[in-house]
Amino acid sequence: MVVDGIVAGLGCRKGTSADDLLSALDAACIEAKITRADVAALATGEIKRTEPGMIELAARLGLTLHIVGDQDLLAAEPRIRTISRLSLAHTQSSSLSEAAALATAGEMSEIIVPRIVSHGATCALAATGATT
C-alpha cells in the first residue's frame, strides 16, 4: 500500500462534494508550491470509504483512492502535526487527512503540508522520505 511520491490525505463532512474536496486539495498544493499533477495518490480512512465526493474526485483526477484501516491510522499518529477534536471524535485519529497521507506514503514519509480546511473538507500532503 506504500505509494512513492506525494500523497494527499483527505477528510470531510458527510456529503461533501468532489468540488469542495478539490478546493482543499488545491489549497494544499498551493501551500506546497506544487501542482495537482505532482500528487501520486489520494488517501482517506475506512470511515470515508463510500463517501461519494471522495470517489468522484479520485475518478475525476485519475488517481487511486487508498483506504487506510484504523490500525494504520493509529500507527501514523506520532507523526501527525494537527490535533482536531472533531476528527478524534469520529475517527480515533487526531487528523484523518494527515494520518491517511502518512500511512499511504510509508513509514519514512513526512507531512509537507499539515491539514488544511476548506468548505467542509480537509487535505494534508505527505511525501516519502526520498522526496522531502
The tens digit of pLDDT for each residue in 7-54 reads 999 999 999 999 999 999 999 999 999 999 999 999 999 999 999 999
Q: Does residue 101 or residue 131 have the better pLDDT? A: 101
Alpha helices (H) along 18-113: 18-32, 52-61, 70-76, 85-91, 96-105
Domain range list for the chain:
6-131
Q: Is CATH 3.30.420.180 the classification given to domain 6-131?
A: yes
Query: Which grid cell is 96?
Result: 484523518
CA torsion, ordered 114, 23, 30, 95, to nearest 10 deg: 0
Query: Which grid cell is 87?
Result: 476528527
Helices H / strands E in the chain, number of each = 5, 5
The pTM of the full predicted model, rounded to 2 decimals, is 0.90
